């Protein structure tokens, strides 16, 4: 490995990741997107997808263990809270705080042609790959500690805001109980290029619009609309 690259990522590991790698090449691979390999075939041969696969499993195991020990609720709620903690938004936010965006190796084309929502996915993927890199380099405990420092702290916020629950299901139950009707979702706006779409959706019950939401996927925009509706209806805070 190029000595400058090795030094750069050793410093990144010490200052940002909080773990000293015996094999820093694992960290470099974890931060390398497939597009970078395609662009630098002469010097780079490995990307982070295999590590991401492993890191996803380690992340879920650590979070499952934490919730089992700290959340005395039914399995359904535990599953929902876990999903909120390990979703792309939560992971990307943790990676962003650690400065991952400055160290991810992606092609020039990907950087130029993709917007911030695509970068969020790149950061989340790299974060899971870094978990795996730590796991392979040092074992379960340092990987668990990395997750505990960077993902687990979001638990209190998720519980306080109630962002773990399925807003669409909750709204559907309320609408059926109060009005005997299903909520109806309608697309208000769809913008952006195919690789970086943005959706704006409204939800109505009994012909009255009660919430709007927007996100980078139609499904998430519907969830945001349902959340707003539940707050307006004072079903949740």
Q: Is 89 a catalytic residue?
A: no
Per-residue CA distances from 65 to 68, 119, 147, 231 (Å)? 5, 29, 12, 31
**Catalytic one among 52, 110, 125, 128?**
128
Q: Is 56 a catalytic residue?
A: yes
Map tokens 């090449």 to a residue. Answer: 25
**Catalytic one among 56, 110, 125, 137?**
56
The burial class, CB within 10 Å (0-12 / 13-18 / 19+), for 118 is: middle
CA-CA-CA-CA torsion sign (227, 231, 232, 233): positive
Asked if residues 175 and 181 have their Cβ atoms less than 8 Å apart, the reply is yes
Q: Round to whole Å and give the CA distance between 237 and 231.
A: 6
Side-chain half-sphere CA neighbours of 142 within 13 A: 17
Asked if residues 152 and 66 have their Cβ atoms less than 8 Å apart, the reply is yes
What are the catalytic residues?
56, 128
């Amino acid at each position: 490995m190029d000595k400058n690259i090795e030094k750069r990522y050793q410093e990144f590991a010490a200052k940002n990741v909080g773990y000293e790698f015996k094999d820093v090449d694992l960290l470099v691979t974890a931060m390398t997107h497939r597009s970078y390999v395609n662009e630098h075939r002469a010097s780079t041969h490995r990307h982070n997808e295999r590590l991401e696969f492993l890191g996803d499993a380690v992340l879920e195991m650590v979070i499952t263990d934490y919730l089992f020990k700290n959340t005395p609720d039914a399995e359904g709620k535990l599953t929902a809270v876990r999903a909120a903690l390990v979703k792309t938004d939560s992971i990307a936010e943790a990676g962003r705080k650690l400065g991952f965006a400055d160290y991810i190796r992606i092609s020039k084309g990907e950087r130029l042609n993709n917007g911030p929502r695509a970068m969020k996915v790149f950061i989340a993927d790299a974060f899971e790959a870094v978990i795996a890199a730590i796991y392979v380099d040092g074992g379960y405990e340092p990987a668990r500690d990395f997750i505990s420092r960077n993902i687990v702290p979001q638990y209190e916020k998720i519980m306080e805001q109630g962002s773990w629950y399925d807003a669409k299901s909750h709204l559907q139950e309320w609408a059926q109980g109060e009005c005997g009707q299903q909520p109806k979702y309608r697309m208000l706006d769809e913008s952006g290029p195919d690789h970086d779409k943005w959706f704006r959706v409204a939800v109505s019950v009994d012909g009255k619009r009660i919430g709007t939401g927007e996100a980078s996927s139609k499904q998430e925009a519907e969830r945001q609309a349902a959340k707003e509706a539940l707050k307006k209806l004072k079903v949740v805070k």
